[in-house]
Amino acid sequence: MDAEQLRECGHRMVDFVADYYKSIEAFPVLSQVQPGYLKEVLPDSAPRQPDTLDSLFDDIQQKIIPGVTHWQSPNYFAYYPSNSSTAGFLGEMLSAAFNIVGFSWITSPAATELEVIVLDWFAKMLQLPSQFLSTALGGGVIQGTASEAVLVALLAARDRALKKHGKHSLEKLVVYASDQTHSALQKACQIAGIFSENVRVVIADCNKNYAVAPEAVSEALSIDLSSGLIPFFICATVGTTSSSAVDPLPELGQIAKSNDMWFHIDAAYAGSACICPEYRHHLNGVEEADSFNMNAHKWFLTNFDCSLLWVKDRSFLIQSLSTNPEFLKNKASQANSVVDFKDWQIPLGRRFRSLKLWMVLRLYGVDNLQSYIRKHIHLAEHFEQLLLSDSRFEVVTPRTFSLVCFRLVPPTSDHENGRKLNYDMMDGVNSSGKIFLSHTVLSGKFVLRFAVGAPLTEERHVDAAWKLLQDEATKVLGKMV
Ligand code: PLP
């Protein structure tokens, strides 16, 4: 590493990135390339001799950027947001500079200790029960993704249940979740060896914005108990992926408690909103949770990846995931006087991710972060009002946070008709490159999702998106007659 070379190249890269952000609206939000496009324009083996940074920048402009979908564009409304910010970006830079592999405390004490402190700060911001703090039996840890978070929670829960019921009872363990739960849970069950026939998918209540009905969970659970099965894990969601529904945490928590089950809460997207006092009630019931997860990399200005997981009793996680090979032994770990986050996650190696979160918290402050969330929710409200002003459209489910689920009302109630109409409208606006939005299916209806949450989105972007959708609606409705 030549420091002067880094300074020169680094400045050029920062200029490049700043220019990218400045001109981001000029790019089609959704990449318009065809599969395999890159193979056509890049050589099929690595260069034997070093290339220049200039020619690399040329290739980035001409070959890479066309294949990029611009998640940071203010016209990005698809899936859920994946925020970048100056603070998050600088944190990533510094983390890349240190490039530590902080699996144990000794490998970089600051990395472990900052993570513990920042996760405690965050838990206090969310008003999580004090048992989730590192000063009690619990604590927080940064995982890469919500998928890893639910997997490690499930492994801890599985091993706790096997310890109680005997290691041959794996085939009897049953997991409960709604049909709106993210597919990450299903994948976690596959990895954890939960028998596929024991993953109980309870149909969510379409009259409650697709939150699960606790009675339906209780009913499924009673049937399982009477068949000799062992209910051991409930996963609730605050902000489901399709419609941002909030499952009834207090009731589900009670079911889990009465049956000695592990209660996991996935608040990957909507957890961020709960730093605002007016949205915190969505977490009521978290008192009964064994684990709670939210993605700071979604809607919290912290560059990917940064998924925050808290557990009420860290010993279950550690019992499931710890190893102690000779080559990692050291005085601090042996004395049990430090946290070794390798025992709270799947991989050994881990990045210094707390830096970027710490920088986001410090450089924005809680007040500004709350305003940031509120602004997006207001923009979503604004979009909802626009939809209500045009009778050709309908808001399909009540909006809770910054996601609006809507569709163009088909002339007939036939689902296929509605699907085609709305698919065509979505395809039309997405292939224009002007905005990007995604879809889901709710009760058989093809529904469009307008997820506000990109850091650069302003009211004018929402208004322009609305105009585009209205024009496209006129086009697709015209083709139907
Ligand atoms: N849970 C919910 C509610 C989500 O919306 C998502 C992704 O959108 C996930 C889990 C999976 O997130 P990750 O990519 O962090 O695994």
Best of 142, 147, 449 for a ligand 1 pocket test (most atoms within 8 Å of beta carbon): 147
Position 274 scores a pLDDT of 98
- CA dist., res. 418 & res. 420, Å (int): 6
Q: Give domain status of residue 10, yes or no.
A: no
Torsion of CA 223, 224, 225, 228, to 10 degrees: 120
d(CA 59, CA 397): 44
Tell me whether residue 277 is exposed, middle or buried, using C-beta atoms within 10 angstroms of its C-beta: 0 to 12, 13 to 18, 19 or more. Answer: exposed
Structure token pair of residue 17: 């990135």
Query: To test ligand 1's pocket by mutation, which of 241, 302, 346 has the most ligand atoms within 8 angstroms of CB?
Result: 241
Same domain, 370 and 467: yes
Atom of ligand 1 nearest to the CA of 267: 3
246 lines ligand 1 (CB under 6 A): no
**Same domain, yes or no, for 339 and 471?**
no
Regarding the beta carbon of 320 and ligand 1, being less than 6 Å apart is answered: no
Of ligand 1's atoms, which has the minimum distance to the CA of residue 241? 5
Those residues of the chain that have pLDDT short of 70 are 481
Q: What is residue 417's predicted lDDT score, i.e. its pLDDT?
A: 85
What is the number of structural domains in the chain?
A: 2
Radius of gyration of the chain (CA): 24
Is 177 a pocket residue for ligand 1 (Cβ < 6 Å)? no
If DSSP codes are grouped into helix, strand and coil, which group holds residue 310? strand
Residue 259 beta carbon below 6 angstroms from any ligand 1 atom = no
Edge-to-edge strand list for the sheet holding 438-442: 393-395, 403-408, 445-451, 438-442
CA of 403 to the centre of ligand 1 (A): 15
Residue 82 in contact with ligand 1 by CB distance below 6 A: no
Q: What is the best residue among 142, 151, 154, 182 to mutate for testing ligand 1's pocket, by most ligand atoms within 8 Å of CB?
A: 182
Boundaries of domain holding 382: 25-48+63-84+365-481
Q: Is residue 12 part of a domain?
A: no
Query: 307 CB under 6 A from ligand 1?
Result: yes
Report ipTM (2 d.p.).
0.98
pLDDT of res. 70: 98
Is the beta carbon of 241 within 6 A of some atom in ligand 1? yes
Q: Are residues 34 and 79 in the same domain?
A: yes
Report strand pairing: 307-311 vs 139-143.
antiparallel
Last residue of a domain, one of 323, 351, 379: 351
Q: Report how far residue 181's alpha carbon sits from residue 158's, in angstroms, rounded to the nearest whole number.
A: 19
Ligand 1: nearest atom to the Cα of 295: 15
Quote the ligand 1 centre to 195 CA distance (angstroms). 23
Q: Do 389 and 314 lie in a common domain?
A: no
Check pocket membership of 295 for ligand 1, CB cut-off 6 A. yes
Residue 101 has what pLDDT? 96
Whose CA is closest to atom 12 on ligand 1? 146
One domain, residues 386 and 338 = no
Calculate how far, in angstroms, residue 327's C-alpha sits from the geometric centre of ligand 1.
35
The CB of 237 under 6 Å from ligand 1? The reply is: yes
Amino acid 87: pLDDT: 98
Residues 68 and 111 in one domain: no
Amino acid 438: pLDDT: 98
CB 435 within 8 A of CB 383: no
Position 7 in a domain:
no
CB-ligand 1 contact for 269 (6 Å cutoff):
yes
Q: Is residue 319 part of a domain?
A: yes
CATH number, domain of 109, equals 3.40.640.10
At 411 the pLDDT is 84
189 shares its domain with 329: yes
Say if residue 121 is in the same domain as residue 262: yes
Q: What is the CATH number of the domain that holds 80?
A: 3.90.1150.170
Q: Decide if 262 is inside a domain.
A: yes
Instruction: Name the amino acid, one letter, at 380.
Output: A
Q: What pLDDT, in 10s, does the model give residues 21-66?
A: 999 999 999 999 999 999 999 999 999 999 999 999 999 999 999 9
User: Are both 76 and 108 inside the same structural domain?
Assistant: no
Ligand 1 contact, 333 CB (< 6 A):
no
Q: Are residues 346 and 369 in the same domain?
A: no
Q: Say how many Å lie between the CA of residue 268 and the centre of ligand 1.
A: 6
**Is residue 145 lining ligand 1, measured as CB closer than 6 Å?**
yes
Q: Whose CA is nearest to atom 11 of ligand 1?
A: 146
Q: Is 268 in the pocket of ligand 1 (CB under 6 A)?
A: yes
pLDDT of residue 115: 98
Query: Which mutation among 237, 269, 353 tests ligand 1's pocket best, with the greatest number of atoms within 8 A of CB?
Result: 269
Q: Is residue 357 part of a domain?
A: no
Q: Rounded to the nearest whole angstrom, what is the distance from the C-alpha of residue 80 to the centroid of ligand 1?
A: 9
- Which of 351, 378, 404 lies at the terminal end of a domain, its last residue? 351
Among residues 292, 316, 351, which one ends one of the domains? 351
For the sheet with 199-202, list strands across it.
Answer: 139-143, 307-311, 291-295, 262-266, 230-237, 173-178, 199-202
Question: From residue 120, how far is each of 139, 226, 363, 464 by CA, in Å?
Answer: 7, 41, 18, 41
3-state SS of 264-285 is: EEECCCHHHHHHCCCCHHHHCC
pLDDT given for residue 415 in this prediction: 76
Q: Which residue intervals of 389-458 are DSSP H helices? A: 415-431
Domain assignment of residue 328, yes or no = yes
Kindly give the distance from the C-alpha atom of residue 306 to the centroid of ligand 1, in angstroms, as a whole number. 12
Question: In this structure, are 251 and 179 located in the same domain?
Answer: yes
The answer as to whether 285 is a domain residue is yes
Interval 79-103: pLDDT, tens:
999 999 999 999 999 999 999 999 9
**Do 41 and 142 reside in the same domain of the chain?**
no
